């Protein structure tokens, strides 16, 4: 029986498996084995005992660990006992000097190390899709919107180039964050390493080198939670960028706009009661799930101020929010890739919307042209503002109003007016900016 939709509906199996019980147990056992090997290297225990513990870890079963935990009510100690049972006489050296969080925090770093590989791949793939769209639609002119109102022309290529550059920033942030989050520790009960003796620092370095992660420079009983909060905040940033893209697509798919829409399968059903519906369900799912990821990040901030050398308030919280945020972020990224790869563009509606304001979106273009002709900027702005309002209120084309405005036409020929009113002539450096993004990020 499953309860959380992430177990059956949202998420990819390969990513979910990183955070399941069996994987967590496996990684905790790897940490215990690495600790035994480190003790052997510094001469604290015989080499044969480290070998025996490393071999025994492969035989530990989660059923036995749970059986012991049911008796003693401590998950890490249950693992220690299960491993010691299979290690024979060497079992007395299992978990030597360690506290529970030496094992769990280090195992968590190993989980995140695996997850980051998926996250990196997702971001690279997403950026590639956005760059392809930017290139394909470099010359697709559309109306720009500010305050949800028509403003001046832009291009779909520029839209996608902006999204791609945002994804690149997330990739940069991830690279910068890795050294701070892929960190383990062997510091004992309060961080003094007293239980490891004078070779505590060396033991910690040996364990982390063995596992392929960084060692915390200093810690108390836990790795400080600002590290994990930073990572979840990064996931929230990534998620909100997907929210942003999906929200843009949802708006552009509105019946009244209908410039862009999700792909719709031949047998897909949009509504259980309205046969005609073609709902943007993928984009809406993205927007909905990003709220959960954001909430997880907010919860992670509350895990930073633990009492004294640590309390347990972060533990139960993190068992929920870290797997949830990771699995859902990966899922949302892959949904976004699917959404973008299957976008449908309606060029007729794009063109129709460009002309919906009867040319008024070109008022700025005309203002700039009049300034070039020697008219003061403020004067030109006021002249065109009045004509634009007249066009709007009377419901007549902007060009017709302008042609009848002698103050305007004494500065412009009809040919110049027609050219300045053409949206395709007023996209500035949009193409060049897209080319630069393609060159820099491609």
The domain segmentation of the chain, as residue ranges, is 5-93, 100-132+156-259+279-345, 353-441
| DSSP state at residue 5 | G
Burial of 149 (0-12, 13-18, 19+ CB in 10 A): exposed
What residues are paired with 428 via a beta bridge?
Answer: none
Residues 28/76, Cβ–Cβ less than 8 Å: yes
Looking at domain 353-441, its CATH class is: mainly alpha
Residues 334/243, Cβ–Cβ less than 8 Å: no
Establish whether 90 is a catalytic residue: no
Q: Which of 39, 147, 316, 413 is catalytic?
A: 147
Res 372: pLDDT? 94
Q: Which of 17, 219, 271, 276 is catalytic?
A: 271
Q: What is the CATH number of domain 5-93?
A: 1.10.275.10
Going by DSSP bridges, is the β-strand pair 214-215/141-146 parallel, antiparallel, or unpaired? unpaired
Domain range 100-132+156-259+279-345, CATH architecture = Up-down Bundle (1.20)
- pTM, two decimal places: 0.94
Establish whether 228 is a catalytic residue: no
Same fold across 5-93 and 353-441: no
What residues are paired with 154 via a beta bridge?
Answer: 142
Beta carbons within 8 Å of 11's beta carbon, 6+ residues apart: 327, 328, 330, 331
Beta carbons within 8 Å of 404's beta carbon, 6+ residues apart: none
Q: Quote the CA–CA distance of 127 and 83 in Å, as a whole number.
A: 45
- pLDDT tens string, the chain, 442 residues long: the values are 788 988 889 999 999 999 999 999 999 999 999 999 999 999 999 999 999 999 999 999 999 999 999 999 999 999 999 999 999 999 999 999 999 999 999 999 999 999 999 999 999 999 999 999 999 999 999 999 999 999 999 999 999 999 999 999 999 999 999 999 999 999 999 999 999 999 999 999 999 999 999 999 999 999 999 999 999 999 999 999 999 999 999 999 999 999 999 886 667 766 555 666 578 899 999 999 999 999 999 999 999 999 999 999 999 999 999 999 999 999 999 999 999 999 999 999 999 999 999 999 999 999 999 999 999 999 999 999 999 999 999 999 999 999 999 999 999 999 999 999 999 999 999 999 999 999 999 8
E-strand stretches of 82-236: 141-146, 149-155, 183-184, 214-215
E-strand stretches of 10-163: 141-146, 149-155
């Amino acid at each position: 029986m499953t309860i959380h939709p992430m177990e059956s509906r949202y998420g990819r199996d390969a990513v979910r498996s990183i955070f399941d019980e069996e994987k967590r147990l496996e990684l905790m056992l790897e940490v215990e084995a690495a600790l035994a090997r480190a003790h052997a290297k510094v001469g604290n225990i015989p080499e044969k005992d480290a070998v025996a513990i490393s071999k025994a870890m492969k035989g530990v079963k989660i059923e036995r660990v749970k059986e012991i935990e049911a008796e003693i009510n401590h998950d890490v100690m249950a693992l220690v006992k299960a491993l010691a049972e299979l290690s024979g006489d060497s079992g007395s050296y299992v978990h030597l000097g360690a506290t529970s969080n030496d094992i769990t925090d280090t195992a968590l770093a190993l989980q995140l190390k695996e997850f980051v590989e998926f996250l990196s791949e997702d971001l690279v793939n997403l950026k590639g899709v956005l760059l392809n769209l930017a290139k394909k639609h470099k010359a697709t002119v559309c109306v720009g919107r500010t305050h949800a109102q028509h403003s001046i022309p832009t291009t779909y290529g520029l839209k996608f180039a902006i999204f791609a550059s945002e994804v690149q920033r997330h990739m940069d942030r991830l690279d910068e964050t890795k050294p701070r989050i892929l960190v383990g520790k062997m510091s004992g009960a309060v961080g003094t390493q007293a239980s490891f003796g004078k070779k505590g620092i060396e033991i910690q370095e040996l364990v982390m080198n063995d596992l392929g992660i960084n060692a915390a420079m200093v810690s108390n009983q836990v790795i400080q939670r600002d590290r994990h909060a930073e990572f979840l905040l990064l996931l929230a940033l990534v998620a909100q960028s997907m929210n942003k893209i999906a929200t843009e697509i949802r708006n552009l798919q509105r019946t009244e706009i209908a410039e862009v829409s999700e792909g719709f399968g031949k047998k897909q059903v949009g509504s259980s009661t309205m046969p005609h519906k073609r709902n943007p369900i993928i984009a809406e799912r993205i927007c909905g799930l990003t709220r959960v990821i954001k909430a997880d990040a907010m919860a992670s901030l509350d895990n930073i101020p633990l009492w004294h050398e640590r309390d347990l308030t972060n533990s139960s919280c993190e068992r929920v929010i870290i797997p949830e945020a990771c699995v859902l972020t990966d899922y949302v990224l892959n949904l976004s890739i699917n959404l973008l790869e299957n976008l449908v563009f309606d060029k007729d509606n794009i063109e129709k919307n460009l002309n919906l304001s009867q040319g008024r979106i070109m008022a700025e273009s005309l203002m700039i042209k009049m300034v070039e002709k020697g008219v003061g900027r403020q004067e030109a702005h006021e002249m065109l503002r009045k004509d634009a309002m007249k066009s709007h209120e009377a419901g007549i084309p902007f060009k017709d109003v302008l042609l009848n405005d002698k103050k305007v036409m004494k500065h412009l020929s009809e040919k110049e007016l027609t050219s300045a009113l053409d949206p395709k002539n007023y996209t500035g450096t949009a193409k060049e900016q897209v080319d630069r993004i393609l060159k820099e990020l491609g």
